[in-house]
Amino acid sequence: MKGICRRGLTATGIVIILALGIGQVVADEKHHKEKYEDDFGIRKGSIYDEENIRPEHGEYSMTEPGKSKRIKRAFENSPPLIPHDLTGMLPIAETNNACLNCHMPAAAESIGAIPMPRSHFFDIDKGKDLGSKLDGKRYPCMQCHVPQVNIPEPIKNQFKADFRSEKSRTRSNLLDSLNEGVKAE
Ligand code: HEC
Ligand code: HEC
């Protein structure tokens, strides 16, 4: 009799534990699901709503060329970010590229702009020096050079660049270092 009673209690106990356990799993799943759907990576808001999900844009530099402060390079030979206002310069059109007025080496010196580096006057595919002629692939500057916005990073960048010389912090020399470590046959 005692044995049956104990067994009976044990069975009820198991049922209760199971019920509590399943309840907890369901609750956890619901919590996880909601959290996941409303907080998906760096995107904030429901994954079912496209209406109010826009990347934050922040403020672009309004400082005119000649008065802006150059931005630290991300790593050696990275394309530098554009520190100045671009009002009136965009879009870059096939027959009109305002950037060239100031960044072609011949003009840059007198204007105080940074001249385009030698890599932009060299056809890297064919290994051909183009002299003072800009390589056509470099014409759409904004494919590689972008302005910087003043906006807090959603995730802190831990990357630390390793510059091999002081000069490489402020000037590029890709064409001189491109073949470093490559053995010519
Ligand atoms: C009116 C002259 C002028 C025009 C036009 C101009 N820039 Fe500049 N740019 C400068 C000057 C001057 C600097 C140096 C920073 C300063 O003094 O404001 C500079 C800096 C830069 C830098 C940073 C270089 C570095 O080493 O940090 C980039 C990249 C750049 N400009 C790209 C562009 C692009 C792309 C365009 C066209 C959309 C453009 N610039 C149009 C004058 C100009
Ligand atoms: C295909 C990508 C690409 C395009 C297009 C491009 N650049 Fe660059 N630019 C780079 C990279 C990468 C560097 C740094 C490495 C190098 O080439 O020396 C650079 C460097 C520069 C520098 C810094 C020079 C120095 O001595 O530090 C200036 C100024 C510049 N570019 C201006 C321009 C302008 C103006 C245009 C458009 C006419 C342009 N770039 C088009 C990738 C590009």
Kindly write down the DSSP assignment for every residue of 63-130, as one continuous string: PPTTTS-PPPPSSTTPPPPB-S--TTT-S-BTTB-HHHHHHSHHHHHHHTPPPPPGGGGEETTTTEE-
pTM of the model: 0.82
Whether residue 12 is found in the same domain as residue 67:
no
* Ligand 1 mean position, distance from CA 37 (Å): 42
Whether residue 24 is found in the same domain as residue 93:
no
7-22: pLDDT as tens digits: 555 766 666 666 666 6
* Ligand 2 mean position, distance from CA 54 (Å): 29
Structural domain of 73: 58-151
Whether residue 7 is found in the same domain as residue 74:
no
The residue whose C-alpha atom lies closest to atom 5 belonging to ligand 2 is 138
Q: Give me the pLDDT at residue 5, please.
A: 44
Q: How many domains are contained in the chain?
A: 2
The ligand that comes nearest to the alpha carbon of residue 78 is 2
The residue whose C-alpha atom lies closest to atom 16 belonging to ligand 2 is 174
Q: Give me the pLDDT at residue 4, please.
A: 44
